[in-house]
Amino acid sequence: MPLYSDLQEKADLLKSGNLSLHENVSGFLTRINDSDLNSFTSAFESESLSRADEISRKSRSGSAGKLAGAVIAVKDVIAIEGKHLTCGSAILKDYISPYNATVIDKLIREDAIIIGKTNCDEFAMGSSNENSAYGPVKNPLDHDRVPGGSSGGSAAAVAADLCDAALGSDTGGSIRQPAAFCGVWGLKPTYSAVSRYGLTAYASSFDSIGPLAKNLNDLELIFDVISGYDDSDTTSNPELRQNRPSDAPFTIGIPDEYVAGIQNKDLLASLNEFRSVAEKAGHKVISVSLPNTQYAIAAYYILACAEASSNLSRYDGVRYSDRKSIGSGLSDMYLTTRESGFGKEVRKRILMGTYVLSSGYYDAYFTKAAKVRRLISNDFSEAFRSCDLILTPTTPDTAFKLGEKINDPLQMYLSDIFTVSVNLAGLPALSFPFGNDSKGLPFGLQIIGPAFSEKTIFSALRNIL
């Protein structure tokens, strides 16, 4: 039985002297070292124990922060000063970050303990966490299955109780999909609500940092700490987050197009069960339409790969990356460095992005995809005229087996069919566990809100569940 139900209770126990933080952190470190999930790329043992002693003293004196004693793992695409920043790639295997990401500074300021870096798909490109140069991550609920991606290490670490919570990044579903597969909670915030300073870029107009946690309270607490304006991030938005009284009835829309795409009868039953629970709690559930959903996957992969081909051009062996022999000239050095340093999936996406940006294809692909992105955003705006929030599945199925889709890119990309539209529109979405399939594996459902409506999403779920 856990010693505490959420991070607030943990902080209270710590303050009252009823919890030894040193022992608590030691327990996490032991479980990380004993785990065969491959969810961590590195653990910060001495620093974590030192921080535990420091925060214990602050807690006893009443000066500890909002996250006092929270043990948090961080996806290895987020910079921590003096620590490896590998992005799951061989090309950055020896790179040490010279600075902290803004979210790391905010966590430390509120007395969280950063226990280590979590494994992920290379440069956050993947839906299964099988694309890491450091090996695949196993799902703690079934070691023969994937944890989801690209933040699979973070989701697996939370689900396996290797930390209290974790940070991930979400470009097309990379927090929400692994949260669903591992049976935990995951938030993709509004684009620009959380600073991206210190996040290694995959697709800059899509990427968001967000938390994964064991419950709603912890998810909200961490979001409150890491969100807010940051002048180090030019896309950071100072707009205040919307709020909504928790006792107000909500209107929740379910998109017809998403329901039509559900082939798993157990998933459909879970969606209908949530609808029933929401209606019994006094909320209204209606049908809405998102007619351009059918184009979301194609538009997302065109735009994201185009941005990736630009962002990853810096890894050439000159300033960043593991430089290979210069051979017969500088061009050979570029070529051998990138060929040996990047994995198959990353190379594929760079090539795809370069192709759609090339002369003669830019208008045929990139320009059209950008127009579709606007249409999808407009669909959400229109739907929110008749509802407060939108409910969808997070994924079309539960976690699939390791190796099952690795050689079938189309099936792998379709794992994101319910998540990518949110990133195209820049909206907040929260995945939460609800129901199981016939094998006992968890489903995730997803609540989507208008921009900066994270507090509304929290209030609605707290009222319904």
Residues of the domain holding 245 = 1-465
| Contact call for residues 312 and 350 (beta carbons, < 8 A) | yes
- Which run of H or E residues covers position 425? helix 420-425
pTM over 0.85: yes
Cis peptide before 453 (omega within 30 of 0): no
Q: What is the pLDDT of residues 351-407, one digit of tens each?
A: 999 999 998 899 999 999 999 999 999 999 999 999 999 999 999 999 999 999 999
| Catalytic residue of the set 56, 150, 169, 270 | 150
Q: Phi and psi at residue 369, in whole multiples of 5°?
A: -65, -40
Pick the catalytic residue: 174, 195, 227, 421? 174
The list of the chain residues with pLDDT below 50 reads none
Catalytic residue among 10, 48, 59, 75: 75
Q: Is 61 a catalytic residue?
A: no
pLDDT of residue 321: 66
Coil, helix or strand at residue 5: coil
CATH code, domain carrying 114: 3.90.1300.10
Question: How is residue 33 written in tokens?
Answer: 């070292």
- Report helix, strand and coil shares of the chain as percent, to nearest 5: 45, 15, 40
Q: What is the pLDDT of residues 169-213, one digit of tens each?
A: 999 999 999 999 999 999 999 999 999 999 999 999 999 999 999
CA distance 414 to 462: 30
Tell me how far the alpha carbon of residue 14 is from its chain's centroid: 29
Q: How many residues does the chain have?
A: 465
User: Among all chains, which residue has been given the structure tokens 């969606």?
Assistant: 271
User: Number of structural domains, the chain?
Assistant: 1
Q: Are strands 40-43 and 284-288 parallel, antiparallel or unpaired?
A: unpaired
What does the alpha-carbon distance between residue 420 and residue 432 come to, in Å, rounded to a whole number? 17
Residue 46 annotated among the catalytic residues of the structure: no
Q: What DSSP designation does 414 have?
A: G
Catalytic residue at 309?
A: no
Q: Kindly give the interhelix angle for 216-226 and 102-109, rounded to the nearest 10 degrees.
A: 110
